Structure 1
């Protein structure tokens, strides 16, 4: 699980990222991001609603997202607040599918931030 400094924890931070951040849609989740200076630690938040499934399924999706983002943090990803909103299709997705989707979304957001 990501360390506390790598998690979005406050409701107002979630709202800020969701409302003012860049957005990348996908089949399994929608990714919102706000970029900061590069030495700011990356922070990740996860929204998995009841539309995804029962508590067991929602927690599995959340654990998978946390494991995937932990890998990105260890690889040196920094300078952004990211919020993932899982879609109902993520309940049936494999770990590999979810990993590909998250990696694609983060790569696209990073390339957009470089251009801006």
Structure 2
């Protein structure tokens, strides 16, 4: 589980990260990374739409992504906002596939 201080919950911050952040995509997800004006820890938010599947499937995908993102928090720049958007193929992807797609996307946006 992500600590409360690392969770992104404000819709305006989600919107700002998606609009002005760097973006990279893979088969199962799209990542948006934006620098936050306010100093603080890197915060992470997730978008898993109904196109991914039923509520059970969406929650399963979200739990997997949350765990993967938590493992990679230390590699992200400080005071950044990361938004991870799951695509419909994420519902059928294995944990390893999601992890490799997330790593590939994070490498691209962190440059």
User: Which residue of structure 1 aligns with residue 64 of structure 2?
Assistant: 64
Structure 1 unaligned regions, length at least 5 = 112-116
Structure 2 unaligned regions, length at least 5 = none
Shift in Å at residue 77 of structure 1? 3.0
Q: Distance in 1 between matches of 2:34 and 2:70?
A: 18
Q: Distance in 2 between matches of 1:60 and 1:20?
A: 29
User: Which residue of structure 2 aligns with residue 114 of structure 1?
Assistant: none
RMSD: 1.5
Please tell me whether the aligned partners of residues 27 and 87 of structure 2 are also in contact (alpha carbons under 8 angstroms): yes
User: Which residue of structure 2 aligns with residue 50 of structure 1?
Assistant: 50
Q: Distance in 2 between matches of 1:27 and 1:42?
A: 25
Normalised to the residue count of structure 2, the TM-score between the two structures is: 0.91
User: Which residue of structure 1 aligns with residue 101 of structure 2?
Assistant: 101
Normalised to the residue count of structure 1, the TM-score between the two structures is: 0.87
Q: Secondary structure at the match of 2:58?
A: helix
Shift in Å at residue 107 of structure 1? 1.2
Q: How many residues align?
A: 109
Shift in Å at residue 76 of structure 1? 4.6
